[in-house]
Amino acid sequence: MERIGDAFVWPFRDPDWLSKVVIMGLILLIPIVGAIDGLGWMLVTIDRLRAGEEKLPPANFDYLGRGVLLFVVFLVYYLGLALVAALLFVPAVVALGIQGNGSGNALLILVGFALLALAFAVTVLGVLAIVFATPAIVLATDRGGVAAGLDVGGVALNARKTPINTLIAGLMLIAAHFIGQLGSYACFIGVVVTVPYSLAMQAWIIRSYELGSAPPAKT
């Protein structure tokens, strides 16, 4: 994970970074299509970093085909997590709703709150698991398509091969996601800059993870 800290500054090495980031940010405002194109843009950015070119790709709609598979993979992961959380959340709401009708069963109240807490814990831990597995998911999908990206066992195995590498990349991705949302915290229009900047950061982090996970060269 050498030069991992450069994730914060490397986009500024491109003299045209601002125009590319702003145009990409406007594209990302388009529902679904923007997200797909943004993921493709991130993958192409990783390609450029592999080639030693520290410049952002042009901002346009050319990356839809590249990003759609990764979009599907992440959609399945998050829908699966939402389904698991719903299986806990819905019974909790039902149990507490019954108490709202005046039945006053202390055991049902306890079960309802316990299920709510469990649903919250599962959601938080599930999101964190996906974030920390993101580099392995991205690289697997990029190399082998949707089936490889959804191969939970294979993704987990790759993530566990270099646990320190996975931990550092995951923490950096959390920072990147936070920066991506800063624009909405301060002024919503700011996401036009912060979200694509976050994707550029993620590209650097995933490339650094890829380098750190590669087997040592034979001498």
DSSP result, 144-183 = HHHHHHT-HHHHHHHHHHSHHHHHHHHHHHHHHHHHHHHH
pLDDT tens for 50-79 read 999 999 999 999 999 999 999 999 999 999
Can you read off the two tokens belonging to residue 146? 């949707």
Mean local confidence (pLDDT), 159-182: 92
Which tops the pLDDT comparison, 125 or 181? Answer: 125
Mean pLDDT, rounded, of the chain: 90
- CA–CA separation, 112 and 121 (whole Å): 14
Global pTM value: 0.89
Closest to 38 measured CA to CA, from 26, 49, 24 = 24
> Crossing angle of helices 33-50/191-213, nearest 10°?
40
Q: What is the CA angle 63-3-25, rounded to 5?
A: 30
Domain limits of the chain?
Answer: 4-76+131-213
Closest to 43 measured CA to CA, from 147, 138, 168, 175 = 138
Residue 20 main-chain phi, psi, to 5 deg:
-65, -45
Per mean pLDDT, which range of 83-97, 128-142, 175-189, 195-209 is the poorest? 175-189
Give yes or no for a contact between 167 and 185, defined as CB atoms under 8 angstroms apart: no
Write down the pLDDT at residue 96. 79
- Asked whether residue 101 carries a pLDDT value surpassing 70, the answer given is no
- CA–CA separation, 86 and 77 (whole Å): 14
- Asked whether residue 110 carries a pLDDT value surpassing 60, the answer given is yes
- Asked whether residue 188 carries a pLDDT value surpassing 70, the answer given is no
